[in-house]
Structure 1
Amino acid sequence: MGLLRETWHLLATAFRMERKWRPQGQAITEFDRLFEIALTSTLDSLVGSAGAWHGPDVFTEELIEAIGKVLDPYQWLWSEHSRTMRISAVDGLRSDDEWQDMADFIRSYGADLFHASQLTLGNVRAILHNGVDWYLEYLEEEQDPLRPIKLLEDLDRGLYDRERAVWCLEQTYSIIVDRFDRFLEYNTTTTQSDYGEMLFSLLDFLRLEVRYDRDAWNLTPLTLVHNSLARNQLTEASEIWEATFEMQTADIAEQHLEDLERLQKQYGMRMPTITDHLNERFVKPLDVNRILALVKQSVEDARQGVKDSEAFTKLRAEVNDYLKDSWGSGVDVPNWLRQMDREISEASRTNYVGRPTAEAELELPPVPISLADFQSQTKTWKTSLIDPYRRRGRKKSRGNSTDPDTSESTDEPDSSDAD
């Protein structure tokens, strides 16, 4: 509707409300989805309007400059959100000291506790459901006197702290459940999985992967911009954005690959899916954006019986290029194929008149904004939407009023700290 600035302020308010009323401990957030909707809608509105501002010769340059002005406040908001986000259960091992404690624990006690036969998904979930303390008590009651469990002996003798043991076990089991696809690959492609005391080698690979995922997560706003450009068939702009993105991320991507090579030599093992993931170098998702952007037109052409579909020809070429350096482990379906399947299902869906779904989209005609309006919005982007004189008047009335209905604050949270 052309309300770019208002959209950002609404999103910022939702962010502050969620942080204020979030329950203690782990909580599910809806902010990721709201952020994607807000930024994508803003970009689509901007792309649809920018074509009328200048001639085609300067369109791409002006568009990228305009996107940069809009992206900065969104990038700041995403960074604030990312500080409180846990990407994976492996985040619990980000500290080097905690990781060293965990690795030492597994080396010492893993042979009895972490053999692959004991780590079925059902068993691990049952342990987490009942609690690790319950599991230790169960082991104490059921252990074979002829084959004592080393951890239980050390706990009885006071050689190892029980609370620390509970933490190590809980972290390990939580990671296995959270990344069971990686554990399954480890269990089927490596010889280390035959030895429970070597499980820390998998966790070390997962620590590296989660560091990569954290960096990729922080780049989400930039990836969403490329996705919007690709879906709007702005080839020149998307190529410029992709080249700039690759240049900005090259050094850190190279560092992750060097760390991967070091781990492969250290443990004498490879994790194909993790290797593929890190070889994306942050830019592979941009290739997926181009693939997904061609799906809808390809489906439309197939539905209309177009034999030589230009969109499908491009789609096939993009997929072939993508597969040149993406192998996978063969254990699980790659994420990009899952995304493509969802996109095809969405594009193949026929118009159905009936009860709307929970995610039904409200289609409204686009409202273009003029260049003057856009410049006016960007100049006052972070200024509160509420008139300052009205705000002062409210504060005075709240100070003199005892009516709870009139004393409740409805002011927009100050966003000046986004600078």
Structure 2
Amino acid sequence: MTAFPRRAIAQLIISGKSNIKPAIEEKVWGLNLDQIESGTGKILEKNMAALSELGPSTYPFAAGTVLYSKLRPYLNKVIVAEEDGYATTELVAMRCDLDQVFPDYLAYYLRSPEFLSFANRVVAGAKMPRMVMSEFWKYEIPLPPLPEQRRIVAMLDKADALRAKRREAITKLDQLLQSVFLEMFGDPVTNPKGWPETKFLGDVADICSGITKGRRTTDDTQETPYLAVANVQDRHLKLDSVKTIWATDAEIERYRLAVNDLLLTEGGDPDKLGRGALWDGSIRDCIHQNHVFRVRINSPSISPIFLNWLVGSARGKRYFLSVSKQTTGIASINMTQLKKFPLLIPPIELQVHFALAVSKIEAHQQELEKARDSAEQLFQSIQQQAFAGTL
């Protein structure tokens, strides 16, 4: 085992902002936080704009600069710039002393669990936490010799490419499912296939809200698992952290979930309205919170999987945005509005055929997700061992 010497970040940096001076109307890369993918250093999209359009809260940086997001450091946004550009002031620019540190090595370390843990502890502000920069510059990172830094980066690059391929394969399956839905049913907004539009969601399903936290009861209660908004994602459940609540027998009976109940969130970011997933029955006697609607189909004319996709489609999102209450970037819908969601009703045989296709593709997707998780574990293992000097 080799323990690498450690040096403060400030001692590894020779400069920050660049002195590049493009013409005022020349198009430049304007980098903001939304362009950076959390945890990977990947640029999601490059925004090119005339320098005159960028505004005063930007500064120039040169290719090879390490850029670290001091705003909400838990999002873990760090990149090495591939070309010159202009960045928001929420990004800290670091031109590395190349005699001491390889930029990609520094970026990988700043994205590591060890540094992320430190960053989450050293912040100021509640709603918009920012890194305390005086602590950032003092932080000492492990610093092996440059050839070892390059060896570590090469190994991490290979492991990172593997996990990226796994994520890309899962994304392609998502796109395939979208294509199958549109091919079978057409655009649900314009309804080019002329499916009947005479029914509303309340006509084919029982809809109810869930249990309320902090309520008072004099009856005996028992600890019961319940689903909150965070557990209900877009067409999938996130069950790695399921909370419990003390509920009476009557409440458990009333709110107990059944397989194929459609769970829909009451509100959140406007673009996430209509977010919902089907209950899979994986937790016994599980109930749901009052900010999650339970939709239980009571009609043979519609299948749960088709309904999940229809509600989550552009048709659903447009409807919910049009009727929702919106305040300070948060949108919400009530039960009356949900019951009035206008349905499309294709033949049930076609819906069942779609459900079978979804099941087959999702089974393959689950295998890919296991492979993705294995690739992620491999990357984290290499990362941990490399920075500890045990690789």
Between Structure 1 and Structure 2, the one with more strand by share is: 2
Between 1 and 2, higher relative CO (CA 8 Å, sep ≥ 6) is seen in 1
Between Structure 1 and Structure 2, the one with more helix by share is: 1
- Same-fold call, TM cutoff 0.5: no
